[in-house]
Chain A
Amino acid sequence: MNLEWMAWTVPTATFFITIFLTLICMTIWQVLSPTTDRRGFLPISTTRGDRLFIGLLSSAYINLAWLGLTDMTIWISFVLGLVWMAIVMRWG
């Protein structure tokens, strides 16, 4: 299969592999111990998958805000995003 037309790069490939692995892990986790709705610091009650989605989406916005508002390296906001994801997953 020739994937040249998709113009893959190492960073984007890493990104998508991580996303797919996360989804697979979440599925296995769900089968082993199904999630329940619960209420954390977020204003809505969420399941594990909801929190993953919220975490990913808000991390994207954190990175975009970083790019738009500062001139510093993206790695700082990347780490910020990861920390934020962990917070949302655990206490969201």
Chain B
Amino acid sequence: MDKWKDNKAWFLVIPVFILVAFSAIIPLMTVVNYSVQDIFGPDNRLFVGTEWFKEVLSDTRLHDALGRQLLFSGLVLLIEMPLGILIALMMPKKGWASSLSLVLIALPLLIPWNVIGTIWIIFTRPDIGLLGAAINGMGVAFDHTNSAGQAWITLMLMEVWHWTPLVALLAFAGLRSIPEAYFQAAKIDGASTWATFWYIQLPKMRGVLTIALLLRFMDSFLIYAEPFVLTGGGPGNSTTFLSIYLVKIAVGQFDLGPAAAFSLIYNLIVLLFCFSLYQVLLNVGKGEKTS
């Protein structure tokens, strides 16, 4: 343990620590403070203990929003992960075509999130939108502002269009890092394309796919700007996800106490999911190595 004593590099972490303290830790502490008080104004507040937590936990609208959120994240991951891997497998490996496809695929990632929402509002409008008008032209009545099902389909299409590129890029990076020797060995053994994918490419991509899965789960679980712009949580409450409901409480009704309690519970859910997913994926790898 001589290494530990001389390890002054830890001091280099201090700037990041201070930055995180101001951008995350201090605001989080404030939220905790808010969650146990009734805030009437800057100088007028009342300690209420765990009342807000009780209220929020028994809120059926929150339960519904959580259910919708989980369903949305699950469905989106089920589509994005396989699709991203498929795209990465089909992309050209080298040359100008590879660079071109990388740039084209990365384009949706460069667009600000609320702009994505606006693009899809116009794109799916039944009167002038390219997609909306085309679907209506084929005789199918399509208007995502009227039908909950269609609002969901539109949102998921948008999410998949927006974020599959990230999975594809990560998977592509993982694929490119596999040494050529593996494929040569597979060829000599006469392995089929499927066997090469299942026994070489997929296991070798496990690291990047873990990152992709975690990132995509977190992002889709915390999604706000796109559904807010596209559907505003409607029609009715059909696309009111957790974050949209939270903002409705905090900004719409200015109920800072319940909103803070809600945020903390939201945060705990995210922490639990993140930790469990990370552990599961970490241990799947360990099992493979020893066997």
Give the residues from 63 to 103 in chain B that come closer than 8 angstroms, CB to CB, to chain A: none
Residue pair A31, B4 in contact (C-beta under 8 Å): yes
User: Is the Cβ of B50 less than 8 Å from the Cβ of A61?
Assistant: no
Contact A64 B265 (CB under 8 A): yes
B35-51, CB < 8 A from A = 36-37, 39, 42-43, 45, 47, 49-50
Q: A6-B26, A9-B47, A44-B283 are in contact. Are A67 and B33 (CB under 8 A)?
A: no
Residues 1 to 21 of chain B near chain A (Cβ within 8 Å): 1, 4
Q: How far is the CA of A6 from the CA of B54 in the complex (A)?
A: 23
- Give the residue name and chain of the A residue nearest to B264 (CB): A60
> A16 contacts B4, CB within 8 Å?
no
Q: Mark A2-14, 1 if CB is under 8 A from B, else 0.
A: 0011111101100
CB distance from A20 to the nearest CB of B (A): 10
Contact of B33 among A6, A54, A57 (CB under 8 A): A6
CB-contact partner of A64 in B34, B268, B275, B283, under 8 A: B268
Flag if A7 contacts B33 (CB, 8 Å). Answer: yes
Nearest-CB residue, chain B, relative to A66: B50
B32 touches A12 (CB 8 A): yes
| CB pair A15 B32 closer than 8 Å | yes
Whether the pair B279, A44 counts as a contact (CB closer than 8 A) is: yes
Q: Specify which of B26, B34, B57, B275 is in contact with A67 (CB 8 Å cutoff).
A: B57
A34 touches B1 (CB 8 A): yes
In the assembled complex, which residues on chain A have CB atoms less than 8 Å from the CB atom of B33?
6-9, 12
- Contact in complex: A57, B268 (CB < 8 Å): yes
Contact A5/B4 with A15-B32, A68-B58 known, Cβ cut-off 8 Å: no
Q: Does A74 contact B (CB under 8 A)?
A: yes
- What's the Cα separation between A49 and B160 when bound, in Å? 37
| CB-based contact A16/B29 at 8 Å | yes
Closest residue of chain A to B1 (Cβ to Cβ) is A34
CA distance A7 to B36 in the complex (A): 10
Query: Helix, strand, loop or mixed for chain B's interface?
Result: helix
Q: CB distance B279 to A64 under 8 Å?
A: no
Interface size on B, residues (CB 8 A): 28
For the complex, what is the distance from the CA of A15 to the CA of B50, rounded to whole Å? 14
Can you list, as one digit per residue, whether each of B150-191 has a CB less than 8 Å from chain A (1) or not (0)?
Answer: 000000000000000000000000000000000000000000
> What's the nearest-Cβ distance from chain A to residue B21, in Å?
12
Residue from B32, B43, B49 with most neighbouring chain A CB atoms (10 Å): B32
The complex places the Cα of A8 from the Cα of B36 at a distance, in Å, of: 10
With a cutoff of 8 Å between Cβ atoms, the chain A residues found around residue B271 in the complex are 57
Query: Is B32 in contact with A68, judged by CB distance below 8 angstroms?
Result: no
Pick the most buried of B29, B54, B268, B279: most chain A CB atoms within 10 A of its CB. B29
Contact pick for B39, options A7, A8, A11, A74, CB 8 Å:
A7
Q: Does B110 contact A (CB under 8 A)?
A: no
Given contacts A7-B34, A16-B32, 9 further A-B contacts (CB under 8 A): A16-B29, A31-B4, A53-B275, A57-B268, A57-B272, A60-B268, A64-B53, A67-B53, A74-B50
| 8 A-B pairs in the complex with CB atoms less than 8 angstroms apart | A4-B42, A6-B29, A9-B37, A12-B29, A44-B279, A57-B275, A64-B57, A68-B54
- B→A interface (CB under 8 Å): 1, 4, 26, 29-30, 32-34, 36-37, 39, 42-43, 45, 47, 49-50, 53-54, 57-58, 265, 268, 271-272, 275, 279, 283
Q: Which 8 A-B pairs have the closest CB atoms?
A: A68-B57, A7-B33, A6-B30, A12-B33, A67-B53, A67-B54, A12-B32, A74-B50
